[in-house]
Structure 1
Amino acid sequence: MMDTLPSKHTIEHSLASHLDPKLAALSELIASCLPALGTERFADELIAGLRALVPVDDATVIYYAGGDLPSLVYSEKPRARASDTMERFLAGAFLLDPFYKAANEEGRFGVFLLKELAPARFRDSEYYHSWYRSCGFTDECGFLVEVGQDAFVNVALGRVAQQRFSQAQLRTLRSVQLAIDELCKQHWSSQSSSGDGIREHLHLALDDFGSSLLTERETQVINLVLHGHSTKSVATRLGISVETVKLHRKHAYAKLEVSSQAELFYLFLDSLMSHQDYRGGDTLISYLQKPSPKKAT
């Protein structure tokens, strides 16, 4: 007697029961993102798909068009973030972001943990305390995707719980990197930029910050301090002793009338944000010339 052939329903059920959950999640991510290409729904679908692959407490997508200031494409507005934190980030603090520096200055694209990109003792820096801690993050992993000429996207996935991203979760994200890269390139390839090169001007502002008041070496030390480098790291990069770094920093702080890295950080941001149309030079020149607010009588 002939064996009874399995029904179509039985075959489908058998296949589903043996399908790798991660493969199924990737399939669903692609299926959801494809119809959303070129629409405002794309980032939402992308984050939802990634969240099905690994546990994520918070997510942000930032688009850096060629030469333009970054634009916030997706944000979940975590409860711990101050209202003006993102505004400061988009206006200029992004210049100090390890993910931004990796893509823009080093041409590194892929999936990275924050600790893989940050300088030594980054968590002691004022940038970390002013940005990452206010986000409530305990760990961050991000996709850096090149999507055009001088244009890239940072898809940042954050953890605010105590548990950090595991190596297995990192391998999962890296295993889908090619798919995420292609989807992002397809979505943002048609986006245009103003082409005014404002980011280049902001880099010049960071490089020149304090140069009107400081010596060349003091300016170099302050620049590295702003980027989150420790005293030892600054000494190594500049080829000078730790004690010499401390001396340059002390003199620079005195000339800038700041007493801490926190005050230095906010002086840079405030002087930068006070320029509506920066085109070169030390931002402190015009910033320090601003009239002080009059006291109420």
Structure 2
Amino acid sequence: MRLSLLGLGPMGAPMARNLLAAAPLTVWNRTASRAAPFAELGAVVAPTPAAAAGDVVLTVLPDLVQVESLLVGEDGLLAGWRAAGIAAPVLVVHGTVSPIAVAALARRLAAEHGVQVVDAPLSGGTVGARDATLSIMVGGADEPVARVLPVFERLGRTVRHLGPSGAGATAKLCNQIVVAGTVAVVSEALLLARSAGLDPATVVELLQGGLARTEVLEQKSRKWLDEDFAEGGSARNQLKDLRFIAESAAAEGVALPTTAAVTALFERMIAEGDGDLDHTGVHRTLAGLARRPEEPHA
């Protein structure tokens, strides 16, 4: 099986290193300088997506627009699969995407090109990617999923096939409800702690020692404690996911009022110009709200 990984960002790069430890791998990245070091690790560095067209292609990209852009044109994956004579390749979408859109893409690529799409979003952050302890939520038909499960097991600790195309993406949105909500309520908790004159580090220690313990706080505590929100998973991407959640909830006819409130909070954060901060930067948004004078009653 010829395996490729496209997208060597904060998640894709450590995933590629883990895959290279066990098998040959072809890599591609839009910024070629990020791919070059992988040649020293034994990877084949492809100059174009077409040159990276293998039997299984993993895409670690933030949205479907970028995935679809790699398919078309003379340098695209579709041309590469045709040139290599690869029938029924598997295209894996690891990004957090709309379940409705990825299911539509899967139907179209299968009907028009014989490409089998598996949606397999990731949870566990860069630490999970580095340590190969990711949670991988899988959607797709049984046959292509069976082909890629051994690959996923090299990348993650918890790998589950949930159903047809879009099922993995839906599970990831459930994950994102919890992540976004946790980020918001931890931010509020630490805002209250600081306002009351408590040591935030001690409060974090106590939270992590009790029922409130969470992986989000484990990985992100330094950002809250240092109030340094400059790098990480952006608020803009968090809001993108929250909007996918709203879309999916509407399609299922279910109301999610708590998530709607969290969405409004991130919309405010981005409107205030903080969209490129780590999503924990919503702490700043909440602090600003706390400082605003109470509106007079009508």
Give the TM-score taking structure 2 as reference length: 0.28
Look at both structures and tell me which one has the larger radius of gyration over its CA atoms.
1
Using structure 1 for the length normalisation, give the TM-score: 0.28
Specify which structure has the bigger relative contact order, considering alpha-carbon pairs within 8 angstroms and separated by 6 or more residues. 1
